[in-house]
Structure 1
């Protein structure tokens, strides 16, 4: 077989544990259509080593959005992200594969595996921060409640506090009352243009890669949202956390994200229409 038909299939440990049947189906479809070397890493370090030792094989990740992001980050750190297309077979609960779906990857194991074999590479943008972190789709400040997130594992003390909270009934809310919207004192600059400063609190900031530019939306406390397009965005102020795709990072005091258009490739179905923005 030619080099593109040689696959390195990295099966994430979470996917193996939570949905072994979908993993088996995807693995069998891939093996039936190509020469596939199967790797079963149990830790992030083993996951990284498997990718680093792929040789000329095309990398395929079976797992949820966290596994996809881990692969993108690892290839970026190795300065190998532009060397060839990455492929993914999403396996996990619907909320844990939303990013993959938004990029155009089929969410069914069979359809996604066939796309790996029959699809084509599509160039995608990437946001890279000054700490060498990556954002595939969008970031949000503050973290916000939407979507699953990955944070550091809780300590024993955190677990005890969580148990106490479950045993203490919260005070009942008063009908008709709304919780005050929390604001944040952040300085936001886009390509050197000041969009908001710390003396003008904001409710949130989002940055999203869209067609070769970064769309920046700043939501002031008492004004209409400010929307601009830029290639670099800097946020600073009081220590803040942010959600980068499915991962939560921070706290940091300042961070700059720079857009890199068409920085990486993802294998998608041949008949794919552009995903909804």
Structure 2
């Protein structure tokens, strides 16, 4: 019998109690012994301490998955517990990139099947982790604009936030290096994206060729800082054709460093403030997910 710890945030995402209960019912009907752990009711470390050795099922979105994986990484338990995902968030970008079903019962059945898939993790020099995508610049600025709009507009808030940021942002002076190679050419940078997954903001394919298990980060650097160029970039970004633009650089690598003017950062859908320097390193096969 599978022994699972089901972690969810009662106040996050757009899915209601019915969807969460459908997933939990599917897990229990499939023979799993499930302990429910509403995040916020107790400290996550306390929940994990109370259920040693249990695999973890995240019933939530990218933010909840990020917190759980980051906590397991900090505790040194990523190699001991396999993680399942029932996507109940607003964007569900990591689920889309790994082809995890968005239907709660279907996703729960994948957990019951019990087939662990090794996945990569990006770890930064401050101890933070990235499960899906981290991006800096205009995309993170758009997220800042979208955050207060999400409760009312849902996924549409991302588009409104992107529009507001696109009108206002002049770009940042940043030095971007991948495995020692500089990519910015001394020009202002509009956006930097590092993808383990593919999409951000509920389906925008920032790093369309990324794979979460190839030991590499897909890196996108946009130098499209002029008003018209910003608009062209935004239109192509939504379709995933931005790598074809002349002022967009795409490479793959294992270590990425960004430094320069303080720039907003969004990791797995969560805003982490403005930074002047940050380095990310890919750790291949750092965790396992039911897939």
Alignment check: 8 A CA contact 1:142 1:241 kept: yes
Alignment check: 8 A CA contact 2:134 2:267 kept: yes
Where do 5+ consecutive residues of structure 1 fail to align?
Answer: 154-177, 269-277
Residue 228 (str. 1) matches residue 223 (str. 2): no
Q: Which has the higher helix share?
A: 2
Distance of aligned partners of 1:145 and 1:201 in 2 relative to their CA distance in 1, 3 Å threshold = closer
Residue 54 (str. 1) matches residue 41 (str. 2): no
Residue 34 (structure 1) shift: 2.7
Q: Which of residues 226, 240, 243 in structure 1 aligns to 2:266? A: 243
Residue 212 (str. 1) matches residue 215 (str. 2): yes
Q: Say what the alpha-carbon RMSD is for the aligned residues.
A: 2.9
Alignment check: 8 A CA contact 1:241 1:248 kept: yes
Residue 201 (str. 1) matches residue 188 (str. 2): yes
Residue 51 (structure 1) shift: 2.5
Distance of aligned partners of 1:149 and 1:68 in 2 relative to their CA distance in 1, 3 Å threshold = farther
Q: Provide the rounded CA distance (Å) in 2 between the counterparts of 1:23 and 1:35.
A: 15
Give TM-score scaled by structure 2 length.
0.73
Render the CA deviation track for 1:146-201: whole Å, top value 9, x for unaligned: 98679999xxxxxxxxxxxxxxxxxxxxxxxx95762210011111222226x421
Q: Provide the rounded CA distance (Å) in 1 between the counterparts of 2:169 and 2:264.
A: 17
Q: Provide the rounded CA distance (Å) in 2 between the counterparts of 1:151 and 1:50.
A: 32
Residue 125 (str. 1) matches residue 113 (str. 2): no
Computing the radius of gyration from Cα coordinates, the structure with the larger value is 1
Q: Provide the rounded CA distance (Å) in 2 between the counterparts of 1:133 and 1:16.
A: 22
Alignment check: 8 A CA contact 1:81 1:264 kept: yes
Residue 265 (structure 1) shift: 0.9
Render the CA deviation track for 1:18-54: whole Å, top value 9, x for unaligned: 5111111111111122342322335186233213432
Alignment check: 8 A CA contact 1:128 1:257 kept: yes
Q: Secondary structure at the match of 2:46?
A: helix
Alignment check: 8 A CA contact 2:6 2:35 kept: yes
Residue 260 (str. 1) matches residue 283 (str. 2): yes
Distance of aligned partners of 1:133 and 1:43 in 2 relative to their CA distance in 1, 3 Å threshold = same
Q: Which of residues 152, 165, 170 in structure 2 aligns to 1:182? A: 170
Query: How do 1:38-187 residues align onto structure 2 when only pairs under 5 Å count?
Result: 38-43=35-40, 46-92=43-89, 95-144=90-139, 179=167, 182-187=170-175
Count residues in correspondence: 238
Distance of aligned partners of 1:204 and 1:89 in 2 relative to their CA distance in 1, 3 Å threshold = same
Query: How do 1:17-32 residues align onto structure 2 when only pairs under 5 Å count?
Result: 19-32=16-29
